Structure 1
C-alpha cells in the first residue's frame, strides 16, 4: 500500500479514537482536529466487464450505450443524462460536468472504457445530423434539428430500460452498493457520485453493517 494511503488510514483511525475518548471524557482536546489530509479522487471502477457486457449488447444503439454507461458506471440520473451539454464534455481531460440545479455541479472523470461510447456517439451524431445546432450531448430525430433546440425527455430512454430489464433507479443503487462494498468509505462515495453524506453512509452501512456499531458521523 502506498505510504500516503497508509498515513491517511492511520490518521483517520487516530482521529476516530480521539473523538471516542473525548466522548467518554478521557481527554478534553482532540489533537487531530486541526490536521487535514487530502487524498486524490480516483476514477470509479466500471461495473465488471462480464456484468456490463451483456447489458451493453442489449442497449443496441450508440446513444443508448453511452446513456447506459453513464447511468450504470457513474450513477448519473436519466434526467441529468438528457440535460448534459456538449460544452460539459472535455474529451482531452476525460471530464464531464453534471449540472445540478440549486446545487454545485458534479464533475466525473471518464476512463477509457467510458470514452469509447462517447466517441462512437459523437461520430454518429455528426454523421446523422451534420447541421444540428442543438447544444445537448444526447439528441433524437425529433430534437436534433428542432428550431427550439430542446433536450430529449427521459422517456427517450424507455426503450433502453425495457431492453436491459432493469429499472434505472435500481441500476443507480446497485452502483452505489458495489462501490460501498469495495471501499466502505462514505467520503469516497460522496466525491465519486456527488451524493449527500446521509446517502453515502446509508449505502456503506448497508454493504458493511458489521462495521458500524455506532453512527460513523459521531465517531
Structure 2
C-alpha cells in the first residue's frame, strides 16, 4: 500500500488489533516513519497525529516464596492483612493506606484509587488483593454497621469520630510489628523485587505510580551491570 494513502482510521484499525506494548511499539514506529515522510515533503499530513495507543493493564507480580513467606497467615485479623498486603503487593506507602477512603476501593472494577496530592494512582487488584479488601469490608460492616467515618480503615476509636480521623500510624505499625518488619522495609522489598524481575523502570514506575528516578535507582541496585540514563 502507498504510505501516502494511509489515513488515521487505517492506523487506528491496526492498533485495535493489538494490545499493550505491541500496539504502543507499532504506533511508535509509524510515528517515526510518517514524521520522516513529512520532513521529506512526501506527505502533507501525519496520520498518526493525535492517536494514542491504549495503555496496557499490568497486574503486579506475586512476591516470591522466600520473601515475606507466610506473612499474611501470621497476621491477626483482616485489617492487618489488608494493611500489610497493600504495601507488600502494590507498594502503597503506609501513610497512603491510612488516607484511603471507603469510596476509593472498587471491587466491581478491582481497582484502588491511591491519592497522592493532586495525582491519583490506580492500583489494579489481583485475586489476593481483591480478597483482602473484601474480607476487611465484611469485617468492617459486621463490627461497625453504623460507622460514619469515610476512611477505608477504621478502628473502635475512629469509626464514629466526629472529625472522621484516619487510622493512626501506631495502629498501622502494629500490623507490621506482628511480622517483625517496618512498613518502609516491606515497601522497599516490593520495589526491589519488581526491579529484579523486570529491569524495566518505566514498567514499574507506571505499575506502582512511583517517580521514574526512584525506579531507575532500584534497577541500578538490582542490576548494577545495567547502565541506565540518569533522570532529573
Query: TM-score if structure 1 supplies the norm length?
Result: 0.79
Structure number with larger C-alpha Rg: 2
Quick one: distance in 1 between partners of 2:176 and 2:169? 11
Shift, 1:117, TM fit: 1.2
Residue 215 in structure 1 maps to residue 222 in structure 2: no
Change (3 A) 1:150 1:7: closer
2:188 alignment partner, SS class: helix
Q: Quote the RMSD (CA, aligned, Å).
A: 2.7
2:146 aligned with 1:128, yes or no? no
Spell out, residue by residue over 1:92-120, the C-alpha distance to the aligned partner (whole angstroms, 9 max, x if none). Answer: 0101000112x411110001111111111
Matched, 1:40 2:56: yes
The verdict on how the C-alpha distance between 1:121 and 1:53 changes in structure 2, with shifts beyond 3 A counting, is farther
- More displaced stretch, 139-148 vs 2-11: 2-11
Distance in 1 of aligned mates of 2:213 and 2:175: 30
| Aligned mates of 2:26, 2:218 — CA distance in 1 | 23
Q: Distance in 1 between matches of 2:138 and 2:161?
A: 20
Distance 1:78 1:192 in 2: 17
Unaligned runs of 5+ in 2: 1-17, 29-48
Match of 2:74 among 49, 58, 63: 58
Specify every segment of 5 or more residues in structure 1 that has no aligned partner in the other structure, as ranges: 13-33
Aligned positions, number: 195
> Whose relative contact order is higher, 1 or 2, with alpha carbons under 8 Å and at least 6 apart?
1
Matched, 1:144 2:151: no
Cα deviation for residue 41 of structure 1 reads 3.2
Query: Superposition pairs for residues 148-159 of structure 1, below 5 Å?
Result: 148-159=163-174
Structure-to-structure mapping, 1:17-36, within 5 angstroms:
none
Quote how far apart the aligned CAs of 1:146 are. Answer: 1.7
Q: What SS does structure 2 have at the residue aligned with 1:149?
A: coil
Residue 113 (1) aligns with residue 149 (2): no
Q: Report how far residue 196 of structure 1 moved.
A: 0.8
CA distance in 2: counterparts of 1:147 and 1:105, whole angstroms: 27
Partner of 2:188: 173
Contact 1:94 1:109 in 2 (8 A): yes
